[in-house]
Amino acid sequence: MKVKILIPVYNDWKSVSKLIEEINSLSINSNIDVSIIIVNDASTHDHKNEDKDYENLTSIKILNMKINQGHARCIATGLKYIFEKEDFDYVIPMDGDGEDRPEEIKVFLDKIDTVDSKAIVGQRTKRSEGLIFKICYEIHKLITITFTGKSIKFGNYTCLPKSTVQKLINDKATWNSFSGSLTKLEDNLVKISSERGKRYFGPSKMSFLNLLKHSLSIISVFRKTVLVRSAFFIIIYILMIKSNASIITSIPLIFLLIMIYSISSLALRENMDEFDKALSNINDITKIK
């Protein structure tokens, strides 16, 4: 069985180097060939060449992008490259900073034999961030399930069979939100428990604004459902406050309209023409092994 581990990176080579070492040190069944594909999102400093064997990994490649395109699009580009250029059975996208714990790769691989080629997702059971971020994340999940009807408790850390990868690269929503697109395309996702690890080096790059954009991008994948539910909310809310209308009671409606405008704007990122041409953004490919 051939497994490709897909890692997007931007200026975090120290963490990625440590991650590769930890993946290489895993005791993985010898019948499984593990390779790593790194998508370098036009980093502003170069990866340092390291003379290491990585004896348990079949190959390591770096796809060097011409222009920076963001985390979601790096994953989308990597999936497209792997599907079109590589021989594989499964792809495991994961963050390169240590927050997706490498030891859980074995949990994914062990689960493969029991799930009949279904996509497996790492559902977060414990997080390592501060209290404020955790509260914001819970609000994100609440808003998502309220307006989309979908409970999405996973990120990029998943294990995808070839059939799912094919669906993802043929859906424009993948160009905007990986987890949103996967939820839309696959009804029977298999879940494993996944604990959010701590970054190897430096502070987390997931700021409040990035979390907000991430949340709205997921919601935008289901914008038709959002618009229907929002319309019902607006009608019911207006009927409730019609005898007590004021600027203060209008605040929820204002926030809702801002959200609808935001997800409509983010939905414009779903561009299939750009997605089809994603591989043209690869400047060159560096082979570490």
Residue 140 has what pLDDT?
77
Mention every residue, 6+ apart, whose C-beta is less than 8 A from residue 117: 161, 163
Whether residue 221 is contained in a domain is answered as no
Residue 171 has what pLDDT?
96
Residue 197 has what pLDDT?
86
How many CB atoms neighbour CB 237 within 10 A? 15
Taking Cα atoms as reference points, which of 75, 113, 110 lies closest to residue 94? Answer: 75
Residue 42 has what pLDDT?
94
Q: Residue 165 sits in a domain of what CATH number?
A: 3.90.550.10
Whether residue 228 is contained in a domain is answered as no
CA distance 274 to 279: 10
3-class DSSP state for residue 93?
strand
Whether residue 210 is contained in a domain is answered as no
Whether residue 265 is contained in a domain is answered as no
Q: Which helix (H) or strand (E) holds 75?
A: helix 71-85
Chain centroid, CA 56 distance in Å: 26
Residue 126 has what pLDDT?
64
The dihedral formed by the CA atoms of 77, 80, 83 and 87, expressed in degrees to the nearest 10: -30
CA distance 23 to 53: 13
The tens-digit pLDDT sequence of the chain (289 residues) is: 999 999 999 999 999 999 999 999 998 888 999 999 999 999 998 777 777 889 999 999 999 999 999 999 999 999 999 999 999 999 999 999 999 999 999 999 999 988 888 999 998 776 556 677 677 778 878 888 888 888 888 889 999 999 999 999 999 999 999 999 999 999 889 999 998 888 898 777 666 677 788 888 999 999 999 999 999 999 998 888 887 878 888 888 999 999 999 999 989 899 999 999 999 999 999 999 8
Residue 50 has what pLDDT?
72
Total structural domains within the chain: 1
Whether residue 215 is contained in a domain is answered as no
Whether residue 219 is contained in a domain is answered as no
Locate all alpha helices (DSSP H) within 205-244, ordered by sequence.
Answer: 208-220, 223-241
Residue 170 has what pLDDT?
97
Residue 238 CB-half CA count within 13 A: 9
CA distance 19 to 25: 10
Measured N-to-C along each axis, helices 71-85 and 178-185 cross at an angle, to the nearest 10 degrees, of: 60
- What is the extent of the structural domain holding 129? 2-202+272-287
Residue 127 has what pLDDT?
56
Whether residue 27 is contained in a domain is answered as yes
Whether residue 78 is contained in a domain is answered as yes
